[in-house]
A and B are shown apart, each in its own frame.
Chain A
Amino acid sequence: MLRRYVTFIVRYRIVVMLAAVAISVFFGSKIGNLRVVVDPNDNLPQEHPYVIASNEIERVFGGRNIVVIGVKSTSGDVFQPKVLEKIQRITDGVLDIPGVIRSNVISLAARKAKDIVGTEEGMQVRQLMETVPQTPAEIAKLKKAVYANPIYINSIVSRDGKMATIIADFKSGKDFRGYTPIKNQIDAIINKERDDSVKMYLGGISINLAWLEIYSQRMAFLFFISLAIIMGILYLSFRSFQGMLIPVITALMSVIWGLGLMGMLNVPIDTFNATTPILIMAVAAGHSVQILKRYYEEYGKLHDSSAAVIDSLSKIGPVMLTAGSIAVASFLSLTAFPTLTIRVFGIFTATGILSAVILEMTFIPAFRSFIPAPKRYETEREKIKDWLDRVTNGIAEVIVNKRWGLLFGTLALLIAVLLGGIHILVVDNSLKGNFSEDSIVRTDDVPLNAGMGGTNTLYLLIEGPEADSIKNPAALRAMEAVQNHLQEKYQLVGKTQSLADFMKKINKAMHADDPKEDRLPDTRELNAQYLLLYSMSGDPGDFDTYVDYEYKSAVIWAYLKTDSTAVIEEIVADLRPFVAKQFPPGYKISIGGGMAQGAALNEVMVQGKLLNIGMIAASIYIISSLVLRSALAGLLVLIPLSLAVLANFGVMGLTGIRLDIGTAAVSAMAVGVGADYAIYLIYRLREEIQKHGACDEALRVALATAGKAVIYVALAVGLGYSILMFTGFGMHTRLGFLVAVAMAVSCLSAIALLPAVLCIVRPRFAFGNGVAVTAQARGTGLEAQG
């Protein structure tokens, strides 16, 4: 069946090649539609309570896409005309950026920054700095006004007065085009203001995400370096240009198909999907190498290119289909993840691998039979024994001589060390932790965090039972208590803000700034009347970020000096019972904000990861058991994968790499790729056992052929991926390192442990009872797909 199919492909090779090229051109033309965008929402589990609260807060109060611009005076404080003028020009400039939420822009120069002051006769509400003060007297007056309004200390001016900030917020609606345009426009504004008198810093979630986009875009460049590394390894493996080019052609075309589909479906590339092309390329090249290796083997016997193409593909085609199906199924299992970006990653990797399998079954055999046959010396050179043969021989001898002590002793030791690593594995997401310490993201964040309250936000959403609930004095008092608790108990909380701060300030002003009256009003009526009074003096939007229009819900904003989700989880766990005690019945308190969303992500990631690995293992087990018609075979395939997963988590624990959204995807990726090794090896072993009858000789041949190809593939994938270690972007660095580790472990366990177990257990599916393997393979049904 398969042989007839391949013969057909070889006969109509021109048509097949033209069709494949036409499809590639079509998908290639769609790549132009690709966009690199980081939507933080894509990464978040939408049904998690933190995320629901954050979405609600952002819908009503804003505060999602914050940019913090820090202006630090190099001599003295910021209260000098030159620096204040800069702050005013930057504020004006930011207000003109398309997509900015004008009413959420705050700085010393913002209209929203009001001085609430008591007089003998009443209350006065004035913009803090309508025009930049010039005389020492005017400057002193402004300074006095700023420090008389504690809500602004450590939020728009540092306590020591050396730093001021401009905080802006941007819409993320349908016109949103990523964070890089926002950062570019802000850079254009602040670069005009840079000189010796000030130092400027950029922070906030929008800036961090803009950097994430910038690093993601570097993947295009890395892709070609990775390609070069894979080509180099292939040349070393086959010692021929043909052997170097064919896998790369498969790889490139698979990537084009996968990317084209992404462009066609208008799915933007984000941090995770930016690494997808490299993964697809690595897997595609892996399959291609296995077939190519077999082709050279068959060509060495048959000396006819077309016959060798037909022979090699008929023999190895079912194996590739099996391995391919398993990888595709594993990546598709990522669609069960609650986070969109991982789902997209799963679908597109699956598409890419499927493309590779299709190409290896169509275009590549047609192309190989079309191009000239390998020259004699190429075939000869391929047969020369090299250091890899010494490695595979060594392994074969260990197994043949039954040196189980050495093999299993090493294994037991390794497992013990890895389990120790897993024991100390930390689950923690930190967006900034993805950037290296000398990156601008981190170097700008340090002074911003030191000078101000903190660049990371945690919000408490208070939802009352009905409209005007927030005017209830008990509710405002509870808010005040929570703020005090946060600020007194946690050093990392640098600032909190809420409507309660304003109510206290108004009460004080209405009592001629009597310090004793710096307290919350006692009745709901007084709260309501103060708010009405304020509306006669302030602007309608002044409290929009603190209380909703119907006074039904309010927010407490807390600014933190860390974005570690582990820290936030501690705070939240402690805060919950405290908060629950403060509010009257009927009030619902939820926690949100950038920090809490990170915590949500963290929480889901642990469950999601276990689920994910379980699913991959299950799909691999089911498919390989079906294909090999043995429940035991499925378990054997799982050996290298279990070790790869164990190694991943163990090495992460040992090297202090935290389990976060980026590293979580690695194990799924690693097992998906690693499954190929086990399958190729089991098939070859079975084939050779059927031929030789004995374990020893079969082992030597299988390791010298499929085993060697497994090493080629692992080297190509591992080294191809390892270039990610040089991106300077933590998330990619760790990805590169962990994939390399996973490749090494799954390769070694597939070529050493798997054959050892097979030879000890001597299962019937491999050793048979007289039924020829080819006959068995023919019955799998997979063949019929060809």
Chain B
Amino acid sequence: MRPTSKHIFVAIMLIGAALMAASSSAEEPSARDIIEKNFYVTKIKHMLNDSTMTLTNDKGQQRVRKTRSVNLLQPNGIDGKIMIRFLQPGDVEGTGYLQVQHYDGEDDMWIYLPALKKVRRLVANNKRDSFVGSDISYGDILQPVVDTYKHTIVKSEALDGEDCWVIDSVPASEQIKKDYGYGKKTAWIRKSNFMEKKVDYMDTAGRPLKTMVIPEIVEVDAATHKWWALKREVKNHQTGHSTLLIFENLDTKKPVGEDFFSTRYLEREK
């Protein structure tokens, strides 16, 4: 077949398109790449920390809970094991919570109530359910794997002086939409380290649901570029309820053994 001018034109267009794609990927990662980097940036091998969760309802009344937790990343680099011990208020002191995550299935959860002296298994929750009465859902704690949502870059803009990508993420299927309870997420992701700065959540009917702001972050491991949010503020626009989560005493050096994550350890009350 003789090359016609038409063929040549198509070939030139294809080469041009390929070049453009190559050059843009060099300058600008794709939305999926950004979310993937964002997904792994908080996957810290192991960490101990103290946290204070302040819950405030629409009338300004508060509940304050102090906890100590131990985290260990699983070999798959995605799932974690988390052991949380409640320190305050006094009447729940010693209560323990153990979660073993399974990104492709249901998490295993146990709770130990010192007043009952018993470990009880918690039947898996919906991803959209609230975690200990906060505005953070179980689905937010273990961020879903990248392709759970479809991502598009909306624009780039500076937010409080930090350059961010603004990325819209919509559920990849109706089932995911139902499970997580979000119709859309819009995230402002810091260009310098791939940590979110702000996320707007829409409910399944497209109404504004909540906004999470992460004003303070810290690089806990410079070698592997791992970061952690020292402060998270989540405000539910529909209930007027808000959650402030502050982390302190982060320790990523101290080794964490598997033995922390057993029901027997839960019963130790410390």
Contacts and interface: CB of A to CB of B under 8 A. Distances in A.
Nearest to A122: B120
A527 B92 CA distance: 9
A533 B114 contact: no
Contact of A529 (B110, B115, B122, B238): B115
A696 interface: no
B229 interface: no
A102 B238 contact: yes
A510 B120 contact: yes
Contacts of A532: 86, 92, 95, 132
Contact of A549 (B59, B114, B130, B135): B59
A519 interface: no
Dominant SS at the B interface? loop
A549 B63 CA distance: 7
B111 A528 contact: no
Contacts of A468: 89, 91
Contacts of B120: 121-123, 510, 533
A537 B121 contact: no
A124 interface: yes
Interface string A529-568: 1101101111111000000111000000000000000000
A523 interface: yes
B115 A103 contact: no
Of A521, A524, A540, A548, chain B has the most CB atoms within 10 Å of the CB of A540
A524 B91 contact: yes
A529 B95 contact: yes
B262 interface: no
B116 A526 contact: yes
B241 A540 contact: yes
A550 B59 CA distance: 11
Nearest to B112: A529
Interface in A113-128: 119, 121-124, 126
A530 B129 CA distance: 18
B61 A529 contact: no
A536 B62 contact: no
Given A525-B115, A529-B113, A548-B61, A540 B122 contact: no
A549 B61 CA distance: 6
B92 A529 contact: yes
B184 to A, nearest CB: 19
A598 B128 CA distance: 42
Given A122-B122, A122-B123, A533 B113 contact: yes
A536 B111 contact: yes
Interface string A55-75: 000011000000000000000
A550 B63 contact: yes
A530 B91 CA distance: 11
B133 interface: yes
Interface string B115-142: 1101011110100011111110000000
Contacts of A525: 91-92, 114-115
A112 interface: no
Contact of A533 (B111, B130, B131, B135): B111
B193 interface: no
Contacts of A510: 113, 116, 118, 120
Contacts, number: 94
B173 interface: no
A734 interface: no
B123 A124 contact: yes
Interface string B48-73: 00000001010101110000000000
Of B97, B111, B118, chain A has the most CB atoms within 10 Å of the CB of B111
A432 interface: no
A343 interface: no
Contact of A122 (B89, B121, B135): B121
Contacts of B113: 510, 526, 529-530, 533
Contact of B91 (A124, A471, A539): A471
Nearest to B65: A532
Contacts of B131: 536
A523 B117 CA distance: 13
Interface string A464-477: 00001001000000
Nearest to B61: A549
Nearest to B91: A528
A535 B133 contact: yes
Interface in A91-149: 102-103, 119, 121-124, 126
B143 to A, nearest CB: 19
A531 to B, nearest CB: 8
B57 A529 contact: no
Interface residues of B, number: 35
B239 interface: yes
Nearest to B113: A529
A523 B134 CA distance: 25
A558 B121 CA distance: 35
A121 B91 contact: no
A188 to B, nearest CB: 19
A236 B209 CA distance: 70
A286 B133 CA distance: 67
Contact of B130 (A121, A471, A540, A550): A540
B116 A541 contact: no
Nearest to A507: B116
Contacts of B92: 525, 528-529, 532
A728 B71 CA distance: 71
A529 B89 CA distance: 10
B61 A550 contact: yes
A537 B132 CA distance: 8
A123 B91 contact: no
A446 B260 CA distance: 61
Contacts of A103: 239
A121 B132 CA distance: 20
Contacts of A548: 61
B241 A121 contact: no
B50 to A, nearest CB: 18
Contacts of A119: 121, 123
A529 B129 contact: no
A536 B130 CA distance: 7
Contacts of B125: 536-537
A124 B110 CA distance: 12
Contacts of A524: 91
Nearest to A131: B178
A490 B92 CA distance: 39
Nearest to A95: B205
Contacts of B55: 540
A541 B89 CA distance: 20
A573 B4 CA distance: 102
A468 B61 CA distance: 12
Nearest to A509: B120
Contact of A523 (B62, B89, B115): B115
A526 B115 contact: yes
Contacts of B86: 532
A524 B113 CA distance: 12
Interface in A390-433: none
B91 A536 contact: no
A550 B64 CA distance: 10
A572 B55 CA distance: 37
A528 B90 CA distance: 9
A632 B113 CA distance: 83
24 contacts: A102-B238, A119-B121, A122-B111, A122-B121, A123-B123, A124-B122, A124-B123, A510-B116, A510-B118, A521-B115, A529-B95, A530-B113, A532-B86, A532-B132, A533-B122, A536-B111, A536-B132, A537-B123, A537-B129, A538-B129, A539-B130, A540-B55, A540-B134, A549-B61
Interface of B: 55, 57, 59, 61-63, 86, 89, 91-92, 95, 97, 109-111, 113-116, 118, 120-123, 125, 129-135, 238-239, 241
Given A540-B134, A550-B63, 8 more contacts: A119-B121, A121-B120, A123-B120, A510-B120, A525-B91, A529-B113, A536-B132, A540-B55
Interface of A: 59-60, 102-103, 119, 121-124, 126, 468, 471, 510, 521, 523-530, 532-533, 535-541, 548-550
